[in-house]
Every structure is written in structure tokens, then in C-alpha cells.
Amino acid sequence: MMTMTNQKLQALFNTMTPKTSALMFPVLMLGGLMLSPSAHAALLNPSFEDGFDNWDIIGDVSIDRGDIGINPPFNNAQALLTTASLGADDSPADAGAFNFSGNSAVTTGSTPELETFLGLAPGALDMSPFLEGFEGSAIAQSFTVEEEEEDLTVSWNFLTNDSNSDFPFTPNSPRDYAFVVLDGEIFTILADTNSSSLASSSTVFERETGFQSLTLPTLSAGVHTIGFGVVDIQDNFATSALLIDIPPSSEQPQQTPEPTSKLGLFLLVTFGLVSFAKRRR
Ligand SMILES: [Ca+2]
Ligand SMILES: [Ca+2]
Ligand SMILES: [Ca+2]
């Protein structure tokens, strides 16, 4: 009985195979096209919902889900960067009180770890010979822009325990700051210790700007690299931080099915064509 069934199946398979193969060819071609990598039009994982997937990070960088006391502007996660702490953390707080990742910020200037990560020249983050960068943290991502890509808008919030310089040669000069790097150049300073939008913060930091938006200019088609960072100026003390979040809508507009659903669609099309062929026979 079992043998008969197998023979019947084998006979059925033999009659079907030529036509099935002929049908499979265009379907496989279609499947191959569907399974090819899709064109990524913009930042991947811009909203940090997948942690730092697709991002490069250096220094004290962590995913914050509102634990700092400020909810992420988009969905449930935001990037938190600080200038803590190669040296002592902020007095009188215990060491590490303003470090959220367990990884220390990295050096700038003569040992330009931060500049090198961002494609900047050593010392590029110094404000002046008397207002040098000391340590900081950054995130960066390289991404491809298609011609029809919408402009990228970033939400940021600068938080600080620092104040303007009281150094005799640089009285009242701003110190720590947060910045954007685009394609290896400092594109803009987001905020510094002198920013007029700084107000008292409900977080562990003394002051914050609150979330603000930055829209980047329309980028040419091709590969670009964007970076965000925060740096200690003049000394290692009085931590500053930067929150970054980017709307998930700026993620690739050309949505394609996931591999699993692609496989499901492929099988559906294949079996659909096979049954269609069988009905015709
Ligand atoms: Ca988010
Ligand atoms: Ca520091
Ligand atoms: Ca500082």
C-alpha cells in the first residue's frame, strides 16, 4: 500500500516535473529579484529602537528609554552621549555618577581618539589654545542618499553641569558643547554652556536646552556620514551630555517585505502557478 502510494507520487512528480521546472524558472527569477538587497535610501535605525544597530559609537554612549527623566521624542529609545569620565566625575558626586554606559569618554587633542573616529583633524574640537577639548563621546553612521530622499531632521537636547569659563584669559567664554559632523567636517554647533535656551533640568544634570530640531540641508545623492558628539572643554570636569533621536519616518521610504514574508510570497506564487497548471491539464 505504502509502495503503491510512493509509486503514484513518483508518477505524479514525473509528469509534473517538466512543467513545474518551466514554471519555476520565471518564478525563481522573480524570487531572486525580490530577495536581492533593497536600496537603502537613508539612515538605518535612525530612532535607536534597535539599539545601536547600524551606528558606530565611541566613548560613553548608551541607549536611554526615558530613564534619565526625559522621554524619547520618537518611540521608545534615544541615544545618550556624555563627557564622563576619564578623570574624576563631577564633584561631589561619586565617580561614574554621570557615566551611563560603563565605558569612559575618549580623549581629544594630542591623542585625538574622538577626532579620528569622526574623520576630523587632531585638535579640530578645540575652541582655542586656551579652550581645548579634553574628552568626549560620539556616534556616527554612513548612509546612502537617493535623489528623491527627504531632508533629515534630528531632535537633540544638550544637558550640562558646566558653566562658562572662569579662566582669567578666557572669562565668560563658553565651554562644553555638542556638535554635528557631516562628511568629516564640523557642520554645526548644536549648543554650548552659553546657549540661551539652557534652563534648569529635571534630570541629574543641572541645565538642559530641551529638545530642539535641526534639519540638515538637502544632501546630494551618494554616500554620506553623519556624526553627533559632545565634548568637555578646558578640563575633564562638569559633565555635559547630548540626547539624540531621529524620526523613524526618515528611514528608507522604499519598504520591501522581510525575508521571511518574501519566502512566504515566493512559495505562494509557486504553488499558485503549479495548481493553475494542474487545473489546465
Ligand atoms: Ca527613538
Ligand atoms: Ca569629563
Ligand atoms: Ca565640562
Read off the pLDDT of residues 163-186 as tens digits, 9 standing for 90 and up: 999 999 999 999 999 999 999 999
Instruction: State the ligand closest to the CA atom of 74.
Output: 1
Give residue 10 CA to ligand 2 midpoint distance, Å: 74
Residue 41's pLDDT band (cuts 50, 70, 90): very low
Ligand nearest to the CA of 161: 3
User: Residue 90 Cα, ligand 3 centroid: separation in angstroms?
Assistant: 9
Q: What is the CATH number of the domain that holds 226?
A: 2.60.120
Query: Is 51 domain-assigned?
Result: no
Residue 48 cell numbers, joined: 535607536
Could you tell me the pLDDT band of residue 120, with boundaries at 50, 70 and 90? very high
Residue 117 domain-assigned? yes
Q: Provide CB contacts within 8 A for 94, sequence distance 6+.
A: none
Give distance in angstroms: CA of 27 to centre of ligand 1: 39
Indicate yes or no: pTM above 0.85.
no
The span from the CA of 230 to the CA of 244, in Å, is 11
Q: With cut-offs at 50, 70 and 90, classify the pLDDT of residue 249.
A: low
CA of 51 to the centre of ligand 1 (A): 9
Q: What number of other Cβ atoms are within 10 A of residue 164's Cβ?
A: 14
- Please report which confidence band the pLDDT of residue 92 belongs to, taking 50, 70 and 90 as the band edges: low
Residue 133 Cα to ligand 3 midpoint, Å, equals 9
The alpha carbon of 257 and the centre of ligand 2 are apart by a number of angstroms equal to 45
Residue 98 lies in a domain: yes
Give the total number of structural domains in the chain.
1
In a domain, 28, yes or no: no
User: Does any domain span residue 80?
Assistant: yes
Q: Is residue 49 part of a domain?
A: no
Instruction: Give the structural domain span for 194.
Output: 56-250
CB 96 within 8 A of CB 84: yes
What residues have a C-beta under 5 A from ligand 2, the ion?
A: 83, 85, 232, 236
Ligand 3 centroid distance, CA of 3 (Å): 81
> Is residue 278 situated within a structural domain?
no
Average pLDDT of the chain? 81
The closest ligand to the CA of 211 turns out to be 1
In a domain? residue 108: yes
